[in-house]
Structures are given as structure tokens and as C-alpha cells.
Amino acid sequence: MSWKIAEWICGGFKAERPDGELVFVYKRLDWSPSRYMRAYSAYEFRWHGLAAGRLTTENTWQKRAQVLYTLDNPRIINEVDLLEIAGLVAKAMN
């Protein structure tokens, strides 16, 4: 995998893969419980208009970030892609 964060857009990021595949990463809305999370951990992954996953610290007592893959079945992107993108987003936020 070789995703890269292409640019900052509309409150989020555009992640791009060399084959032209795009995933948009948007900051989640400031609603409970996301309002109490650290800034880098409240993001949503969008792929072709579908919610592909979330980067969150919800439901973890140790406040560790976790990536939740929400597509019904594996597509052109998978959990590994979201993990790589999440790492890039975390680096870009620091």
C-alpha cells in the first residue's frame, strides 16, 4: 500500500493511492460522545460516498485510537488501507 495525504480540504483530508483510488477523511461532527475525544481521533473515512470507516476512541477505557471498518464486504479498499490512512492522518495532525 502506498497511500498519501494529497491535501487539506473542507475540514478534512484527501488520501490518494497511485492507482487513482481516493478516500476522503472528514472530521466528525461535534456531537456527544465525539465532543470529548482528542482532535485526531474523531474522523470518518468516506469512499465513493459510502461511510468506509471511523477513527475513534469510543468504547475504549484506555483512550487508544481504533479504526472501525464499516463497509459490508471487502471492496477495492479494506481494513489495512484504512489503518495506513489513519496513520498518515495522525502524523498530519501533529
Reported pTM: 0.75
Q: What residues have CB less than 8 Å from 49, skipping those under 6 apart? A: none
Question: In this predicted model, which residue has the larger pLDDT, 29 or 16?
Answer: 16
Nearest Cα to Cα of residue 65 among 79, 83, 80: 83
Place 40 in a pLDDT band, splitting at 50, 70 and 90: very low
For residue 74, say if its preceding peptide bond is cis, omega within 30 degrees of 0: no
CA distance 59 to 3: 28
Residues 15-36: what's their mean pLDDT?
Answer: 77
Share of the chain above pLDDT 90, in %: 21
Asked if pLDDT for residue 53 goes beyond 80, the answer is yes
Predicted pLDDT of residue 39? 43
SS3 state of residue 74: coil
